[in-house]
Structure 1
């Protein structure tokens, strides 16, 4: 009975932590949108949003890794390395596609804002995957 109680506490704590992390993702998105709605320093809003996504990715990865067996950790590491390759390819594609579209001039704040926004969305997608695996 004691073991079941302890297990239940860990399961509930895990669910609470995961939901809180998902809430963090949604709060960051809401704060980002509020920043953009001001219409000032939108590039900085997007850069901050991207930096938050990257930080939360690291936290989510470490949290998940701490909860799984060493065999699962090896699998997770391999999966993450594959995702990083896809991320790099996606980032290059976003840059070249944004440049080709011609709506934004390369090197301008608007151009950079679009890049950071797309990068953040991609990273937050992975954050959500990692949270849901936990």
Structure 2
């Protein structure tokens, strides 16, 4: 719990100091790849990367929301609710597809790593979209 709070704090600080640019996203991806390249606790690397994507999504959403009119905020909220529905559907599909492929046994760390990686990529897609609109 403390690690997650610290992670959120670090992401927030990095966003403020980097003016919330796409560079932040690319730096997180680079750090993720470096973590994977170590070959140690790769599932942990993927979980951290996913958590970073989720934290950054919240920051990017709130940053954009703070810069637009209340009418635009209402539209953004509806758009985000629709995106969340698509996200949930995508996550279910990724899980199902990964299970069907049979390369990794369900419940193993490799299976979870593949799923988390795909989920993070999807969320970072939305993050990039929100940042570009800020």
Gaps of 5+ in 1: 1-15
Paired with 2:112 and 2:35, the residues of 1 have a C-alpha distance of: 16
Partner of 1:99: 99
Q: 1:45 to 1:92 in 2, by over 3 A?
A: same
Larger relative contact order, structure 1 or 2 (CA cutoff 8 Å, min sep 6): 1
Gaps of 5+ in 2: 1-15
Post-superposition shift, 1:23? 1.0
**Structure 1 length as normaliser, TM-score?**
0.85
Q: Which has the larger radius of gyration?
A: 1
Report matched runs for 1:51-62 at 5 Å: 51-62=51-62
Partner of 1:49: 49
**Structure 2 length as normaliser, TM-score?**
0.85
Determine helix, strand or coil for the equivalent of 2:103.
coil
Instruction: Count residues in correspondence.
Output: 119
Contact 1:43/1:112 (<8 A) preserved: yes
Partner of 2:90: 90
Report matched runs for 1:8-27 at 5 Å: 20-27=20-27
